Structure 1
């Protein structure tokens, strides 16, 4: 472990993405970094995509919000907007059970598992539900596979974003306050290749958008650079009745999506049409960035349009190599870990399931940006 110094230090992880951060001596709250050290932190985020600051269990929600907003100056005009907007609490939304807001800092969400008594930052008694593949995938593990053989699944590969009206956040901060012990391990078995990925219970998995782009053939790179992803209006409501593939990468096309007259009112101008490839503003690298579960169609610059099923199949084809075991970083949580990830550079997925009585408590913050990502060719 690096010793404390008077400047922030960055230690790359032995993983496809990621770096460990040591704060300057005397600094315990990363939101209070001076400009020089924060710039170094920001550069590390864009270079390594996922950065980990240990020993932050007591970080106040306000500080987490301040730190998150520093990564994107455009949020100064709309910094009150949680990245998923208000719609994620809609009774038909796929995200409706994914957490609860801290009353005095609603941009920070409380996530986890189990019953927690009143008193946590102004909240009353709360029951948290860890999202698992059992409620989202078409074909699920058996109880024996999940709880006796300790298998698990990627719940849903995604980027954090409302994908309607609001622009994707630049960064997400995720703070582990109470996490399971590392003695609990689980494994993901890939159905198509039979490869295995061993990880700790509740690990957060990350896949690199840069690597995903780099793995493409020259022909596919050219196609990707000239493709836009059009997301469905109110996408988490649109897909609420549909089911995901067993790797959590996209959805089965079975006609279960809600019709456009079954979802809340929507406006054409608020539909998100984003480049399939986003340019990293610091490194200049290209990142293949898409939320394949929420895609509506793909539009090529040559006029070709791929509608829902074809769009899903195409995104699956080009994204699948990046989630192979050797390409995934599965973060094993320690209490106090503050994980910050470049939401415009990686995709991530929840993993794991918990037995009755097991608990976890985390704080998450991301803020809708004031500008959309761009592709610079």
Structure 2
């Protein structure tokens, strides 16, 4: 049986015209036992096809942690390190719970889990907006079904090592429950119906495409510098009610109080990442860890017209950096552009970390057991950015 790709089932809230290439369900192949030819087809679907897809969903998958690690590593064979370095009590990411036989695969979820893959007992906690947002949904509204995005992420340490290329997320046990309404609570009135404990995705390509010309010109000339040890740095601070970017309250850990760090190990990444096989540009910035922005000047023979920062600049004011990024990213998380995945047990999601952002959604009680295996590996090299031709195209 040949591999078959079918469009993802979209919610009624989605603008289908923005999801024509976004993702596919994959049939006719066992992701735990791919032949070289089959893996080539999967890689082609994710990266190389003219209409490549950033999210691939396999239903009724059955794979061991060893098989999941092998699948993840196949997309970047030179990679050896885990995608995050700071799973500690002092980090927003919290302690890392590795599968003992394959420590590159992480146990995540909710509730107390016993005798799982060599782990005698693990107390898991679904990430909730109530632990990281400046404001929270009231208990009354939560009881009535209101919730929020937790935090819009790119899988990346953002310090010392390169961002992940591909993440695999495998749902072994998925709690059932009523749908919720994800509120943005930012004055827009935006709301999104979501399945219980969904994982929401948005496209970096759509995020770039939605920008007005002025901001496209800025994006293709910009690089983002992240804070040292950003996941420790941001831990005392709060994110916005949309889960996108941070409030500027001065609560971050002072650089002088962070674990020892070196300036040359701070990540400086393009604001837009290029898919080398297709040339498409994705807006890929983790607004929570961003600290500075470098903007190159327009080419010397270019008419500035209404371009922003035509002579280039280095933005170092944290509030200014955050306000600019939020202005650029917020349109793309509006309800019509969000795919909230409705998890079923044994779903395996494989996503291109250079083409999407994602956030967990919702709250779970201690008795709602959720068991997931996640695997991502630090990229063996940095993501490719824009070219001189891209700058010319969008100048």
Query: Fold-level match, TM-score > 0.5?
Result: yes
Q: Offset of 1:38 from its aligned partner?
A: 1.2
Aligned to 1:306: 315
Aligned to 1:126: 122
Distance 2:118 2:373 in 1: 14
Is 2:73 the counterpart of 1:73? no
Aligned to 1:49: 54
Is 2:181 the counterpart of 1:187? yes
Distance 2:314 2:116 in 1: 49
Is 2:231 the counterpart of 1:236? yes
Distance 2:164 2:271 in 1: 16
Match among 91, 98, 114 for residue 93 of structure 1 = 91
Distance 2:362 2:165 in 1: 26
Distance 2:328 2:243 in 1: 15
Number of corresponding residues: 357
Match among 64, 67, 91 for residue 63 of structure 1 = 67
Q: Offset of 1:13 from its aligned partner?
A: 1.9
Q: Which 5+ residue runs of structure 1 have no aligned equivalent?
A: none
Q: Which moved more, 1:265-274 or 1:12-21?
A: 12-21
Which whole-Å deviations, capped at 9, do the CAs of 1:153-174 have from their partners, x for residues lacking one?
1100010111101100111000
Is 2:82 the counterpart of 1:82? yes
Is 2:257 the counterpart of 1:262? yes
TM-score by length of 1: 0.92
Distance 1:127 1:63 in 2: 25
Distance 1:100 1:332 in 2: 25
Alpha carbons 2:293, 2:321 under 8 Å: kept: yes
Which whole-Å deviations, capped at 9, do the CAs of 1:110-153 have from their partners, x for residues lacking one?
00000111x2111111110111000000001111111x211111
Distance 1:280 1:31 in 2: 26
Which whole-Å deviations, capped at 9, do the CAs of 1:52-78 have from their partners, x for residues lacking one?
00112x310010000001112331xxx
Q: Offset of 1:355 from its aligned partner?
A: 2.2
Which whole-Å deviations, capped at 9, do the CAs of 1:215-252 have from their partners, x for residues lacking one?
11122111100100100000010111110100010111
Alpha carbons 1:108, 1:363 under 8 Å: kept: yes
Alpha carbons 2:24, 2:56 under 8 Å: kept: yes
Distance 1:35 1:358 in 2: 39
Distance 1:127 1:220 in 2: 44
Secondary structure of the residue aligned to 2:163 is coil
Is 2:135 the counterpart of 1:139? yes
Q: Which moved more, 1:31-40 or 1:352-361?
A: 31-40
Distance 2:247 2:75 in 1: 35
Secondary structure of the residue aligned to 1:361 is strand
Alpha carbons 2:182, 2:362 under 8 Å: kept: no
Distance 1:312 1:327 in 2: 22
Q: Offset of 1:282 from its aligned partner?
A: 2.4
Q: Which moved more, 1:304-313 or 1:208-217?
A: 304-313
Distance 1:170 1:61 in 2: 19
Secondary structure of the residue aligned to 2:78 is helix
Alpha carbons 1:43, 1:282 under 8 Å: kept: no
Aligned to 1:112: 109
Match among 371, 375, 380 for residue 370 of structure 1 = 380
Distance 1:205 1:254 in 2: 27
Distance 1:170 1:53 in 2: 19
Secondary structure of the residue aligned to 2:384 is coil
| 4+ aligned runs moved over 6 Å, structure 1 | none
Secondary structure of the residue aligned to 1:212 is helix
1:133-172 equivalences under 5 Å are 133-146=129-142, 148-172=143-167
Distance 2:327 2:41 in 1: 36
Secondary structure of the residue aligned to 1:67 is helix
Distance 1:115 1:31 in 2: 27
Q: Offset of 1:45 from its aligned partner?
A: 2.1
